[in-house]
Each structure stands twice: as structure tokens, then as C-alpha cells.
Structure 1
Amino acid sequence: MNNKTINLDCLILAAGSASRFGSCKQLADWHGQPLLAASIAAARQLKPARIVVVGGAFYPQLLQALPALNAQVKNKTETPVELLEFPAWNLGLGHSLAHAVKYLQNSNPVLVLLADQPLISAQDLQNLYHHWCQNPEKIASASFANTLGVPALFPAQFKARLYECRGDRGAKSLLLRYSNHVIPVAMPSAEFDVDTPADLSNYLRKAI
């Protein structure tokens, strides 16, 4: 990617309570950095207009960590992270997604990411973006394990549909409902997410 900021917003969902993890999963150690930092670093390489992290259950911890998450922003070509609080996070992923998309009141497409998919690389996101650029009226979605899911890039006209997400029905339900409007982009790395401390430790042990 060049140094020019592109008209794209990145939305990283990190509002959940991580009940299976038992603590603030978003800030768990991942190769010496917070787990969330992996998603931010990949998103930042796209040079998006905005990167918004949605915090909820662990909003105070994320707010405290925000300076460290922005420590790599050294010039105007690097997008800083904005932290958005969603106090009603217990209503579910869909509600936090809808809340965040409404916060982005503009005509930019929006890239939806999760905070717990640390294997997603900058190249994965650039590949997704390039596929979307070839068909900007459609949704570009990660394709893995015989399904569609996030990361997914939604053109602005689909924001109204994202507003309607509720409960635990997030972007994936929308991708399946509008599958005829989706460009699937192979992304095996999207299959791995961190649900439990065992997921994290097992992967890190294998990586040594």
C-alpha cells in the first residue's frame, strides 16, 4: 500500500466479556504485545481513514492500554486508534456492531474485524481490499472452513443492514443472508480465533 490514506473505516469488535477466557482476552499477551494489537497492526497497514475499537466489558482496561496501542503512530500517515465505549455490551455482538456502525456517520465502506483473530495479516486485509475494489458494490468476505465470516468489507449502502444487527447475530448472519452479494476471499488464517487460555497457550507453544 502507498502512504495515502484511503476512504475506508476499520471497525474492531472488542466489547465482549470473554467469559470462556476468564479475563480481558483483548489484552492477553501475544508475542509480547496485547492480542488486540495484532488486529490493529494489520488494519493500520491499509492506511484507513479511521480505526475504531469497540470496548464494553473491559472498556476501562482498554482505555488504559490505548496509549500503548497508539505508540507506533509516529507520523500523520499512520492511523491512530479510537476507542468507542458500548455500555450495553451485554446485549450481544450484534448490538455492539450496530452501535459502532452508527458511530461512523459517513459514506465510507467499513471493514469489520474481531479482536481475537491474531493470525489475520496485513496481506490478508490488503487482498480482501483489492477484491472489493474490483466489485465495490458488493461485500468482500473472508472464506474459511466452508463458511463466510469476518474480516468482511461492507460498502456504505450495507450500513443500514448492519444497523439492524441484534443479540449475538453479528456480521456473519448478514453475510449468509446476502450471500449473492458477497465476494468470497480465501483466508485460512481467519479460522483461528482465541476463545480460551488453552487456545492461546497451545498456539504459542507450537509457534516456539
Structure 2
Amino acid sequence: MRLACVLLAAGLSRRFGEADKLTARLNGTTLVEAAASAIRQLGPDELFAVTREGGVRPDGFTCLVNPRPETGLGASLALGAAAAGRAGADRLLVVLGDVPGVDAAYLRAVVERATSLRPSASVVGDVRCPPACFPACWFPRLEACRGHFGAGSLLRDLPPEALVAAGGDMLRDVDTVKDLEAIRQRTV
């Protein structure tokens, strides 16, 4: 199996304030580097990061620039899926850049739940979310994604065996300075 991974890091950080949230520091590293490190430890065949013009550039990732990040997550996801298809990937693992608690073991579990015909996804409570892994036959659906909700509608009807539960704050994302402070308080 040829695995590609796309790190979605093109957001505008509007709710975070003046700074780019992905460059905020937590436990000695930036938020985006925490997610990028977990992906590199997993060891996929292809590493892509979708960024905005002038945005973060994680080491070791081929960066794809989303020229219109204000249009939402869907456009970034479409760019990543197209790149995975061109690279001949059999599967595409999608990871958000603002989730610093994810680790390689969890990402591996998500990849292992996907099949050649059905994606897998994370689940927090009743919410299905990234990290998610899609087989190549689903890449055209990802390329058609638009708007702020990305692949949410594609994950909605996945069966229980396609889901990987995330414990604790592993998938807690950082949208505001308050979110970051809450995570810092839990990791002290």
C-alpha cells in the first residue's frame, strides 16, 4: 500500500488573534510541528502540507499553496487529494495542523481501519472527524469538496468498524488563545 498524508495548514487563524496559531508554542514546539512530527513518525510514502501564501512550511513536506484559504477547508482537502492521486497513492491520511496531541500510534490505527473501498475516521463522542484515511477510489469525492466543512459529509455514514475513538484531549484542536491555554494547563 502506498500511503500519502496531507497536513491541512492553510487556515487564517482569525479566532486566534493577530498571530498564526500554527506557530504558537506548546511543550517546546509549534502546534504545526507537533502534528507534522507525528506524521513523519508514521512514515507515509508521500508528505504533503496545504498552506496559505506565506504560511508555515513543515520540514520534509511538499507544500501545496491554497490560493484562496478563506473559501474553507474543502479547497485545501481537494488540493491534497489531487496531489495524492498524482503521486499514485492507494490511501490518503488527512491530518489537521492545529491538533498538537495526535501521535503516530493513533494515526496508524486510523490508517489500519480504512479499506480499499471504505474510509476510516476518528470519532470524539458522536462527532466523526480527522484524522481520517481515504482509499484512492474516494479521491474524486475529496477533490469535489468545497466550503468550510471539508469531508464531514463523507464521514457521516461510516460504520462503527471504520471509526477510531480518540481518548482524552488527543484531538482537541486549537482555535483560540483560550484553547491553547487550556491545553497548556492540562500538560503542565
User: What TM-score, normalized to structure 2?
Assistant: 0.90
Q: Which residue number in structure 1 is paired with residue 151 of structure 2?
A: 171
In the alignment, does 2:164 pair up with 1:185?
A: yes
User: Does the aligned pair in 2 maintain the 1:54–1:84 contact within 8 Å?
Assistant: yes
Distance 1:145 1:31 in 2: 26
**Bigger Rg over Cα:** 1
Paired positions, count = 184
Q: For the structure 1 residues 94 and 61, does the alpha-carbon distance in structure 2 shift closer, same or farther, using more than 3 Å as the test? A: closer
Q: For the structure 1 residues 160 and 61, does the alpha-carbon distance in structure 2 shift closer, same or farther, using more than 3 Å as the test? A: closer
Q: For the structure 1 residues 202 and 11, does the alpha-carbon distance in structure 2 shift closer, same or farther, using more than 3 Å as the test? A: same
Aligned residues with identical type, % of pairs: 32
- Partner of residue 55 from structure 1, selected from 42, 51, 60: 51
Q: Which residue number in structure 2 is paired with residue 45 of structure 1?
A: 41
In the alignment, does 2:8 pair up with 1:24?
A: no
Instruction: Measure how far apart 1:201 and its partner are.
Output: 1.6
Q: For the structure 1 residues 16 and 25, does the alpha-carbon distance in structure 2 shift closer, same or farther, using more than 3 Å as the test? A: same
Instruction: Measure how far apart 1:121 and its partner are.
Output: 1.1
Q: Tell me, which stretches of 5 or more residues in structure 2 are unaligned?
A: none
Q: Which residue number in structure 2 is paired with residue 194 of structure 1?
A: 174
- Alignment-mate amino acid for residue 101 of structure 2: L
- Alignment-mate amino acid for residue 100 of structure 2: P
- 1:147-179 per-position Cα deviation (integer Å, ceiling 9, x unaligned): 211000000000011011111120222111x42
Distance 1:159 1:194 in 2: 27
- Partner of residue 138 from structure 2, selected from 139, 155, 158: 158
- 1:78-109 per-position Cα deviation (integer Å, ceiling 9, x unaligned): xx212111111111111121122112212421
Q: Tell me, which stretches of 5 or more residues in structure 1 are unaligned?
A: 1-5, 71-79
Equivalent runs, 1:49-128 vs 2, <5 Å: 49-56=45-52, 59-62=53-56, 66=57, 69-70=58-59, 80-104=60-84, 105=86, 106-128=88-110
- 1:96-127 per-position Cα deviation (integer Å, ceiling 9, x unaligned): 21122112212421000100111111111112
- Partner of residue 9 from structure 2, selected from 11, 14, 39: 14
User: Does the aligned pair in 1 maintain the 2:119–2:134 contact within 8 Å?
Assistant: yes
Q: Which residue number in structure 1 is paired with residue 116 of structure 2?
A: 136
